[in-house]
Amino acid sequence: MRKLIYILIFMLGASVQGAYIKNLVHLDGDRDNQLVGYGLVVGLDGKGDTTQEASTAYQSMKNMMLNFGMKTDKEIKAKNIAAVMVTADVKSFAKNGSRIDVLVSSIGDAKSLQGGILLQTPLKGADGNVYAVAQGSVVIGGFMASGGDDSGGANGSANVQQNHTTVGRVIDGAIIEKEIPVNLLKNNSIDLNLVNPNFVTAVRIADCINKKFPGSSQALSPANVNVIVPEDYRGQLTNFVAQIGTFDVIPDTKAKIIVNERTGTIVATEQVRISTVAVSHGSLTITVAEESNVSQPEAFSEKGETKVVKNATVQVKDTSKSFMMLNEFPTVQELTGALNQIGASTRDMITILQSIKAAGALQAELVTL
């Protein structure tokens, strides 16, 4: 039987530590931008797209050759070329000449991008403008090798593949050609968007900033805090954002228990409380053992035959525990201590928590993954 390992994790709040505001929010306007482009990967050692006049790689290669002043009416072998889509995420404040990684994904029937070179590929934003240009060696983090024919198909004598070979990355392969504008200051104020929207946390952030800059901050919603930039800092927005980002705030969290039955993991916040409830835990163990014996006639006996006789034994062990009474609204620490006293394992705790929730005594959200 597969042995299951269960882990119990509880976030106890005996000593609650504050968090920097910069780790709880992100500035409105400070965001990533996605780029995409179409390109060709060459030098694939016969593992590229199938040679067909209607194939994307075939047509793209003919167009590329025309751009270099070469025209041919003969069939072109394109097994070393693959048509790919190139994608990238650009961080805010990326400057001209900065380099970013790009992801290269085959869109044809290429077997592998191993050893390929991405040709110069313009990367466009959602507005259709080119913001970066990508080119370089494709790293796939795996390999494909085959014996027999070069195609690596069913006719090959052997095929070996490690990891996914039709998606790769070009490290620092794209150069930023056009900066993406970032506008943080609007009407002499900035907006702080909470990573985890929460009414209490938003109010605490506003109160914390107001202690240093009175009347400057207001919680507009559980997901947004507006901060008016003081006149002395409007020419030094970077210094102002850096300063308020280091203020300590104790974030509020909901009473929640996360249960993953597949891995046996339980995660609970400190705010979990339980109403008065009685819990009884018992275990019933049934053991079935089967033993085979050989029965054969005595020596030189004229009658009788050898047979295999199976004997089965069944043992039942019932271990019952008494009821454990939990006081009104115990903490998570008290709950786990009480469950341990009645002999509950982590696996049993999952079932017990679900039963307490069904009884209406668990004052927390129970999420089962």
Task: Give the tens place of pLDDT for each residue, 71-104.
Answer: 766 666 668 888 999 999 999 899 999 999 999 9
Identify the weakest region by mean pLDDT among 8-12, 83-87, 212-216, 258-262: 8-12
User: Residue 226 has what DSSP assignment?
Assistant: E
Instruction: Give me the domains of the chain, ranges plus CATH numbers.
Output: 18-29+183-249 (3.90.1150), 33-176 (no CATH), 256-289+315-368 (no CATH)
Asked if residues 183 and 29 have their Cβ atoms less than 8 Å apart, the reply is yes
Q: Rg of the chain over CA atoms, in angstroms?
A: 33
Which long-range CB contacts under 8 A does 49-55 form with residues at least 24 apart? Answer: 49/78, 49/79, 49/81, 49/82, 49/83, 49/106, 49/108, 49/109, 49/110, 50/79, 50/108, 50/109, 51/75, 51/76, 51/77, 51/78, 51/79, 55/83, 55/108
Task: Report how far apart, in Å, the C-alpha atoms of 147 and of each of 7, 81, 150, 241 are.
Answer: 46, 21, 7, 60
Higher pLDDT, residue 246 or 53: 246
Q: Which tokens in the block code for residue 220?
A: 């507009």
**Exposed, middle or buried: residue 235 (CB in 10 Å: 0-12, 13-18, 19+)?**
exposed
Return the closest-CA partner of residue 172 out of 85, 89, 98.
Answer: 98
pTM over 0.85: no
Q: How confident is the model at residue 63 (pLDDT cuts 50, 70, 90)?
A: confident
- Please write the tens of the pLDDT for every residue from 256-292: 888 887 777 788 887 787 777 776 666 544 454 556 6
- Give pLDDT, residue 5: 39
pLDDT range class, residue 48, cuts 50, 70, 90: confident
| Count of all residues that appear for the chain in the document | 369
Q: What are phi and psi of 347, to 5 degrees?
A: -60, -40
Residue 292 structure tokens: 């085979």
Q: Name every residue whose Cβ is closer than 8 Å to that of residue 32 and which is 6 or more positions away in sequence.
A: 89, 90, 91, 92
Q: What is the mean pLDDT of residues 36-58?
A: 80
The region of weakest confidence among 94-98, 137-141, 175-179, 279-283 is 279-283
Predicted confidence at residue 95, as pLDDT, reads: 92
**Tokens standing for 35?**
């780029």
Percent of the chain at pLDDT > 90 equals: 36
d(CA 326, CA 335): 8
Element (H, E) at 162: strand 159-162
168 pLDDT band, cuts 50/70/90, is very high
